[in-house]
Chains A and B, each alone.
Chain A
Amino acid sequence: MRHSHTAVIERDVTWNGTFETEPYEAGWASEAIYFVRILEKDGQVGRGHAKPQISPDGMHWRDEGTLMGFQESKEVAYVRVARFGNYLRLVGELPPGTTAKVIVYLTLKS
């Protein structure tokens, strides 16, 4: 049976400007989805973005290469990631004056 796990990385956290999530180890998984559920928003969330980052040691990071966009009309945004090694985190930016209260999930599957 394949293993799967959903980690709640952020809960009821308000983003504005740049943001980054805490690192998460996922070496056992071969595929991942970051979900961002927007609970409340103010401003132009659709002009923001987020991107997964990978790391050899959980301390030094670079972009994995995929991009998560937000849509004004959608409550849930997501980005799929594969072949990421052991460490994952999500970084991003909202335009000036925009805030979003979010829950971030990392859904992993072996």
Chain B
Amino acid sequence: MSANPKLSRFSPLSRIITFDDFDTGLNGWTNLVGNYEGSLDTMLPQYRDLRGPMLSNGTMWDTGSAGSWDGTYAMKLATKPTAGSLGVTVKRLTWRELGKIQLEAYVTFKPEATEMALSELDVRAFGFVFDLQDSKSRVMPHLRYLNALEGEQIGQWQYKSHLESLEAIGGSGKTKSHFHLAGDGWENLPGDRQLLCYNEIATKQNWHYMRMTFDLKDMSFAAFQFNDRNYDVSGMTPMMMPAMANLWCMLNLVFFLETDIDKRAFLSVDSVLLSGDF
């Protein structure tokens, strides 16, 4: 693996479950839609307009196409130009053994360069979620980098165990929905804030490495690394709720992005590697 330049920048567990290089397409990453029954109007309002992924060549108005980490295309999420708008993408798998899983990715974020200003506080947050279920519980470990909030720089990694209310959808009693990406209830990871390489104008972007390890055996955080920083995850609890009717062995991967002002925010993902110990 160390001789393969596509893989040697990752540190996978013993088995690679999926390796998605977006130079070859979206590889199963798709839009997230809220649950509905009978009519799209039954969807929870926060789910109605989550913006989905596209393949981007990283074009800037002043310098042209940057391409991705090691090719032409990255997966890009773009919000609408409305404060609080979210871009979300999901890949849906299942697990076959309760052991450690690990998500690694190379990512970068930036606001749309609509003005000649640094704009470093325009992106509110980006993050990653595992959406999992075993025989007893649905478990949703959430992590986000809160870059800025209402114009104030934060620069803090956060997790969320706070449960949002579970709402019945439609009339059959079979469909429920909860808007787990809501802005309330996030807690800081231990340690100081982590300031990132944003660079010096809105059209220069640097790629970042992230690694999140989760143990399915006891449904606990096992590790989180972003660039040079390894976080102490021992005191962190994931979002957890009773198992749902049709989600057995679910292993979903979710990236999300939120803008802080009325300007589009962009999250690019060059490549993703999911590995497991089994």
Contact = CB atoms under 8 A, between A and B. Distances in A.
A28 interface: yes
A18 B150 CA distance: 30
Interface residues of A, number: 22
Interface stretch (A19-27, A61-69, A74-82, A91-99): A19-27
B40 A5 contact: no
Contact of B59 (A3, A11, A57): A57
Interface stretch (B49-57, B131-139, B168-176, B211-219): B49-57
Contacts of A8: 31, 52
Given A8-B31, A86-B57, A23 B40 contact: no
Nearest to B79: A22
B25 interface: yes
Interface in A23-64: 23-28, 39, 56-60
A23 B76 CA distance: 12
B41 A24 contact: no
A59 B114 contact: yes
A24 B54 CA distance: 7
B63 to A, nearest CB: 10
Contacts of B51: 22
A89 B35 CA distance: 27
B54 A25 contact: yes
B26 A11 contact: no
Interface of B is mostly: loop
Given A5-B26, A11-B33, A11-B40, A27 B52 contact: no
> Number of contact residues on B: which range applies?
20 to 34
Nearest to B31: A8
A5 B80 CA distance: 21
Interface of A is mostly: loop
B73 A12 contact: no
A28 B72 CA distance: 9
Contacts of B54: 7, 24-26
A94 B54 CA distance: 28
B179 to A, nearest CB: 17
Contacts of A3: 25
Given A22-B78, A25-B55, A57-B59, A12 B112 contact: no
Interface in B140-191: none
Interface in B23-47: 25-26, 31, 33, 40-41, 43
27 contacts: A5-B55, A7-B52, A7-B54, A11-B49, A12-B40, A22-B51, A22-B78, A22-B80, A24-B54, A25-B55, A25-B56, A25-B59, A25-B76, A26-B55, A27-B65, A28-B72, A28-B73, A56-B59, A56-B61, A58-B59, A58-B112, A59-B113, A59-B114, A60-B61, A86-B59, A86-B65, A87-B59
